[in-house]
């Protein structure tokens, strides 16, 4: 039996520069298409690996997630559409000129291109910072079918994530106490801002908290206990990241 010859595809790299006046762009995603829109997809780097600024993470996530959703539609982007997308991007966020590539399998090819051009350098163990936990929370919620906006203002209040349901919008606060820091006051301020925002906007909220690790120390335990008490007193349900990331675990967001 003769082997099926590889398809011909085209790939572009999504590049981003925090400062458009400086030539310091970095690869943040890879896009794969074919000429007719028969196959393709997008694979992106985690937003937490791209910037320390939560607002920049939210902006990049919105653009990249919007691009990825186009490949979930029946009318997939093709080579011409990819060039149109490129023309619509800004100077700080752009697509490289499409290059031809053999595609024996679209998913495997996309994975290989991501590893070659985009994937962050491997680390022995990635710290469970707030941004890393937000990555997991947003990805987990989207896998469950929720519409999620990352790092967005609602009114005058900034939230780590906003989940849109049929009845309302549910703000999420994401905290991590897994690090070994001396000063946990910013986490208390984060929780306080979140609870005040819920009260002013009259919205239901949810919190996702990474508990302290063995190496976190007593200050983390004290602040974690204090913040948990605040959420309990405000009747805000609290989840751990694993509960959100695992689609097989129940997650009741009904209000």
Burial class of residue 252 (count of CB atoms within 10 Å of its CB; 0-12, 13-18, 19+): exposed
| Dihedral pair phi/psi, residue 27, rounded to 5° | -80, 130
The pLDDT of residue 53: 93
- Give the mean pLDDT of 17-21: 70
Nearest to 208 by CA among 164, 174, 232, 245: 174
Give dist(CA 113, CA 117) in Å, integer. Answer: 6
3-state secondary structure 132-174: HHHHHHHHHHHHCCCEEEEEEEECCEEEEEEEECCCCEEEEEE
Instruction: Give CA 156 to chain center in angstroms.
Output: 22
Co-location of 140 and 102 in the same domain: no
Residue 255 within any structural domain of the chain: no
Domain count for the chain, please give it: 2
Give dist(CA 191, CA 238) in Å, integer. Answer: 12
Co-location of 160 and 233 in the same domain: yes
Co-location of 101 and 20 in the same domain: yes
Confidence class for position 83, pLDDT limits 50, 70, 90: confident
Give 112-157 pLDDT, tens digit per residue. Answer: 999 999 998 776 667 889 999 999 999 999 998 899 999 999 999 9
**Would you say the pTM of this structure is higher than 0.85?**
yes
* Secondary structure letter of residue 188 according to DSSP: H
Co-location of 96 and 170 in the same domain: no
Termini Cα distance of the chain: 57
> CA 189 → CA 1, 183, 225, distances in Å?
66, 12, 15
Strand partners, 149: 162
Co-location of 109 and 179 in the same domain: no
Co-location of 190 and 218 in the same domain: yes
Burial class of residue 122 (count of CB atoms within 10 Å of its CB; 0-12, 13-18, 19+): exposed
Co-location of 75 and 41 in the same domain: yes
Residue 1 within any structural domain of the chain: no
Nearest to 81 by CA among 91, 65, 95: 95
């Amino acid at each position: 039996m003769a082997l099926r010859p590889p398809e011909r595809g085209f790939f572009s790299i999504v590049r981003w520069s925090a400062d458009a006046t400086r030539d310091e762009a970095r690869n943040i995603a890879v896009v794969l298409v074919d000429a007719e829109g028969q196959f393709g997809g997008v694979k992106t780097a985690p937003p937490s690996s791209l910037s320390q600024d939560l607002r920049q993470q939210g902006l990049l996530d919105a653009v990249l997630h919007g691009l990825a959703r186009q490949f979930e539609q029946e009318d997939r982007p093709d080579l011409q559409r990819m060039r149109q997308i490129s023309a619509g991007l800004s100077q700080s966020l752009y697509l490289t000129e499409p290059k031809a590539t053999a595609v024996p399998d679209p998913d495997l090819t996309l994975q290989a291109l991501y590893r070659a051009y985009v994937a962050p350098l491997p680390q022995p163990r990635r710290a469970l910072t707030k941004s890393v936990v937000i990555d997991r929370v947003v990805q987990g919620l989207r896998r469950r079918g929720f519409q999620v906006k990352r790092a967005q203002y609602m009114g005058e209040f900034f939230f780590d994530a906003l989940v849109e349901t049929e009845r309302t919008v549910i703000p999420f606060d994401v905290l991590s106490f897994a690090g070994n820091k001396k000063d946990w006051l910013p986490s208390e301020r984060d929780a306080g801002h979140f609870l005040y925002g819920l009260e002013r906007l009259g919205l239901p909220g949810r919190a996702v908290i990474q508990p302290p690790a063995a190496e976190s120390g007593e200050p983390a335990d004290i602040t974690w206990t204090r913040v948990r008490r605040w959420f309990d007193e405000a009747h805000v349900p609290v989840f751990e990241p694993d509960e959100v990331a695992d689609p097989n675990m129940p997650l009741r967001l009904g209000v």
